[in-house]
Amino acid sequence: MVQSTITNANPGNIVVPLSAIIDQLKDKLSSAEIEALLSAILSQKKSEVRPGDLITVELINQILNDLINLNLRVAQLESGVSIGQAPIIDQIVPAVQRVGGTLTVIGRNFNTPPEKNIVEIAGFSIERFQSSPDGELVFGIPLIDITGEKLDTKVSVQTEKGFTSKAITLLPRLIIPEGFVSFTEDTANRNLPAIASPGTYDIGFMVNSQTDVDESYVISAGYIDAVGSFTVQQWKDATTLKTATGDAITETPLKLPAFTPVKVVAHVVVPAGATANTTIAKLFIRVRSVNNDAGLSKSSDPLVITVGQKLPFSDPRVDWVNEVPTQPTATNKARRTIDSVTGKEFVEIPFGSVGLMTLRVTFKIAGNFSYEVTMDPASAGAWAPIKPSPLSSTGKQNGENELIGVILKLLATADAQHGEARTLTIKATRTPPAGAPATDTETFTSWTTISIRGYMP
């Protein structure tokens, strides 16, 4: 056995290495007994001082060490430095979020306050955090430019203890498009023959999303006021939509570029057995905006299809836009709404009240224009006489706009059966302007139709 050295460390204290004690006991105690004794010795750390106890150097050193450790821990806590392990991200809520939205990173071992962490998303550093409880980092996603429909990337958190990251999917920033949608008839419609039964016809509409950004729409076809041999549903079942290139238009949203008219074709297969001149239906195109349903969604003017007759044609060189708001105001009780059953668009006026319908007209040819309004069926006393204002415009230039007001006064009280529904046709008739070339002798008519009815405020 190797002799252990006994060393005097401090005056009045003799230090015996613990290894020397264990060597002396190896032949006298079993391994289990030695381990038990060693555990008992190490557990005798001084935890209290009683009257009469000797204040030793070991006790003072123990106190000093505990104070140093305590000061270190307090300094770390005050500086926001975690004394735990590396950060861990347990969850990101939501896992799919748009640029500009808010993210919550839930995990462990984050520094406090949140600014003491190095947080990045898609390589962009996060500088500002919202109020975040312990174990969470809440922040807004910076304006990251995303090309395409989405970006699969990561959120990372780094502290002095380590680094961690977790996957997330970012979507492009949602921009609410503003503007309006207009419809005009395709000029090719005037070349269609009289509608026969049976027969197949491609009826075109030009849809113009006049918005500040491109927008996507769900486009559908509908019918109203069917009489004669076929029902509204039979007409609808006989109609499909396609683009100018022949691609089918389904319920999948179709992106329309801003201020670029896009042709939508209603492919109508008229069944056999229809009675000429008495089988009638009104076709319309409905566009529903994906990102601004209340502001942009609307229906085209109904186009009357009469078996045995050619389609009526409204010259597209006058563009009509209904500017009645979807909610009444304090000064104007008129409102624009969509029938939930038929999808038909109405301008509504409170029973026994007055409202102003405003139309914006854009001229695509110079000229003088006169206006008139007709109602179908006749009002029979339910509606007051209706006149447009102004009655005419002179010297209008190509591309110029004009606002036409129509005052609607509903005299009738509530009628639960049909709400005093009527169809207004607002016509603009063009004549050559003063000073026009002698070759300009063209006179034409353009119109729009608007359904009106009463409502209970």
Min mean pLDDT across 34-38, 181-185, 198-202, 345-349 is at: 34-38
Min mean pLDDT across 63-77, 99-113, 330-344 is at: 63-77
Q: Does residue 50 sit within a domain?
A: no
Q: Are residues 294 and 192 located together in one domain of the fold?
A: yes
- The tens digit of pLDDT for each residue in 204-250 reads 999 999 999 999 999 999 999 899 999 999 999 999 999 999 999 99
Q: Does residue 434 sit within a domain?
A: yes
Residues 6+ apart with CB under 8 A from 268: 200, 201, 202, 203, 235, 238, 239, 283, 305
Q: Are residues 341 and 365 located together in one domain of the fold?
A: yes
Range(s) of the domain holding residue 150: 88-171
Domain boundary among 288, 312, 336: 312
Q: Does residue 419 sit within a domain?
A: yes
Average pLDDT for 33-45: 61
The amino acid present at 279, given as its one-letter code, is T
The amino acid present at 95, given as its one-letter code, is A
Average pLDDT for 352-369: 94
| CATH code, 355 | 2.60.40.10
Q: Does residue 429 sit within a domain?
A: yes
Residue 364's nearest CA partner among 184, 154, 233 is 184
Q: Are residues 440 and 338 located together in one domain of the fold?
A: yes
pLDDT above 50 (res 85)? yes
Domain boundary among 147, 171, 195: 171
SS3 call for 71: helix
Q: Are residues 432 and 391 located together in one domain of the fold?
A: yes
What is the domain count for the chain?
5
Residue 282's φ and ψ, nearest 5 degrees, are: -110, 120
Instruction: Read off the pTM.
Output: 0.58
Q: What is the mean pLDDT of the chain?
A: 86
Q: Are residues 337 and 389 located together in one domain of the fold?
A: yes
Percent of the chain scoring above 90 in pLDDT: 61
Q: Are residues 158 and 291 located together in one domain of the fold?
A: no
Q: Does residue 25 sit within a domain?
A: yes
* Residues pairing with 20 in the sheet: none
| Cα(300)–Cα(262) distance, integer angstroms | 14
Whose structure tokens read 């949203």?
253
Domain boundary among 125, 153, 171: 171
Q: Are residues 197 and 301 located together in one domain of the fold?
A: yes
Q: Are residues 318 and 456 located together in one domain of the fold?
A: yes
| Residue 341 or 384, more confident | 384
Residue 218's φ and ψ, nearest 5 degrees, are: -90, 120
Q: Are residues 401 and 443 located together in one domain of the fold?
A: yes
